[in-house]
Amino acid sequence: MALRSLSKMDHLLLGVDKGLRAIVPRSNPSTRPLPVSNDTIPELNITEARHVAGLMRINHTGEVCAQGLYHGQAFSAKDHDVKQAMHQSAQEEVDHLVWCETRLAELGSHPSIFTPLWYVMSFGLGAVAGAISNEFSLGFVAETEAQVSEHLQDHIGQLPVQDTRSKEILAQMDIEELHHRQVALDNGGAALSPSVRHTMRWMANAMKATAYHL
């Protein structure tokens, strides 16, 4: 059924469902298997496992934030095509959410306890961005994906040498985040002001510092 034919209540229920799936672990089916070359679970000592779990918890939180951001932008965007693009990007990144959840479970760890808060905050930011203009909204996506790519590459460099499993997962995520950035730019995303970019980076660093431990 096309989204345009749905009632306001249908849209509301779909939005609630997507929000719950973003914050409730193992509530999303993955459309693709883990992007790894084999099924061997790397052996890590306690210190290494805790560090990798902290990094993957940050990455999982980033994907929760991406879901909130895209959902919020789709909620307030004025243009139907932009709404569709936000829904599509959110759907494509569901696999990233599942991959991070899977690796956390393999490490005997868990997502951030503040997951609902991260989602709500990101939804609010996305809704504000979508309400400002299509160009700003798409530019916000492009800048977000650029910063996500930076921390993914940083995390890949921090992983233990033997943990090729986490490296392959994060490398595939990075490829797709950069693709989403380019799509946003190609569709008219505007460059954000330095103050907005710096604020986004400060908020992201605060989130990462918290999510690593909690």
CATH number, domain containing residue 204: 1.20.1260.10
- For 29, residues 6+ apart whose C-beta sits below 8 A from its C-beta are 98
Examine residue 194 and state whether it is found in any structural domain, yes or no.
yes
> 101 near 155, Cβ under 8 Å?
no
| Residue whose tokens read 């005997």 | 108
Examine residue 203 and state whether it is found in any structural domain, yes or no.
yes
Examine residue 140 and state whether it is found in any structural domain, yes or no.
yes
**Inter-axis angle of helices 134-158 and 194-213, to 10 degrees?**
40
- The reported pLDDT for the residue numbered 3 is 46
Examine residue 31 and state whether it is found in any structural domain, yes or no.
no
How far apart CA 148 and CA 159 sit, in angstroms, is 17
| Binding site members | 63, 93, 96, 145, 177, 180
Domain range holding 168? 10-22+44-213
| Type of residue numbered 73 | Q
Number of folded domains that form the chain: 1
- The reported pLDDT for the residue numbered 168 is 95
Q: Which candidate, 155, 190, 153, 157, places its Cα nearest to that of 175?
A: 153
| Binding site members for Fe cation | 63, 93, 96, 145, 177, 180
Examine residue 35 and state whether it is found in any structural domain, yes or no.
no
Please give the helix or strand (H or E) that residue 35 lies within, else none: none
Examine residue 16 and state whether it is found in any structural domain, yes or no.
yes
Examine residue 53 and state whether it is found in any structural domain, yes or no.
yes
Examine residue 39 and state whether it is found in any structural domain, yes or no.
no
DSSP assigned state of 159 = S
**Residue-by-residue pLDDT tens, the chain, 214 positions:** 444 565 655 555 565 656 656 666 676 676 788 899 888 899 999 999 999 999 999 999 988 888 888 888 777 766 677 667 777 777 777 888 889 999 999 999 999 988 888 888 888 888 888 788 888 888 888 888 888 898 899 999 999 999 999 999 999 999 988 888 888 888 788 888 888 888 888 888 888 889 888 8
